[in-house]
Amino acid sequence: MKTKDFYALLIRLFLGYVFASAGLCKLTDGQFGQLIGPPLLIKQLAEYDLELFGQFIALSQVLVGMMVMSQRYSVLGLIMLVPVNVSILMVTISQNWKGTPYVDAVLVALNILALLYEWKSLKFLLLPDTMEIKAPAKVNELFPNVWWGTLGIGFGALGGLLGVWSFPATLAFGSLAFVSMYVNVFTFQSYYLLEKIILALSGLAILSVTFVGFLQKAMWVLLGGSILLVFVLLLVRTFLYKK
């Protein structure tokens, strides 16, 4: 896989996971493992009679995040993620949160980069008179499989809907969703060995955070080790395969 294609894939997986897990975490009152907060948003909004609105926000994060991870519907998910991302950034700035706006700014930048990767397919949105539109999008050329990504979205949606009533069910369906997304990713047949290892490690990192309630301290070892190895192997892969 070309370097730009592989990095774009990692960005989609990362962004999709961040927002899908954040939504599942909110719907389970902070029990589902995730990387960004606030995990108790629904309870906080309930004090102002906005509990249903909080659930809507959380479920929207789940659906959009899963779409971004699906590859099949990633372009649509990335477009929908822009207003979500920018709104979160503006909230953190207006609330004068320390450090958080910088993290959110990085997520916005990654969102924009992932869309620019599909510029040839999306440029008609900004340049309506253009005559050259690439179809299908690059991501759909690389990952044409319909079922695994769609199945992952379905599992994620089901987990989100059950979040209010059963954390174990949400944990189970959320995990199945992430596994389905990675099965879909591995349907691509032309990875370098290093790329397969990097993807496997990223999946291990996701599952270690997902099961933080059970792994506890071990989660930090798995997560830290996986991230460190991914970073090192990415550098090695980038320098070995310069294309």
Mean pLDDT, 10 residues at a time, the chain of 243 residues: 93 96 93 83 85 91 96 96 92 85 93 96 87 87 93 96 91 96 94 93 89 69 78 86 73
* pLDDT at position 42: 85
Work out whether the CA dihedral 177, 151, 227, 84 comes out positive or negative. negative
**38 prior amide bond cis, ω within 30:** yes
Residues near 23 by beta carbon (within 8 Å), at least 6 away in sequence: 57, 58, 59, 60, 61, 62, 63, 65, 160
Mind giving me the DSSP string for 143-198? ----HHHHHHHHHHHHHHHHTTT-HHHHHHHHHHHHHHHHHHHTT-----HHHHHH
Domain segments of the chain as ranges:
3-123+136-189, 191-243
Angle, helices 147-162 vs 167-185, to 10°: value is 170
User: What's the first-to-final CA gap in the chain, in angstroms?
Assistant: 9
**3-state secondary structure at position 142:** helix
Phi then psi dihedrals of residue 186, to 5 deg: -80, 0
* pLDDT at position 215: 64
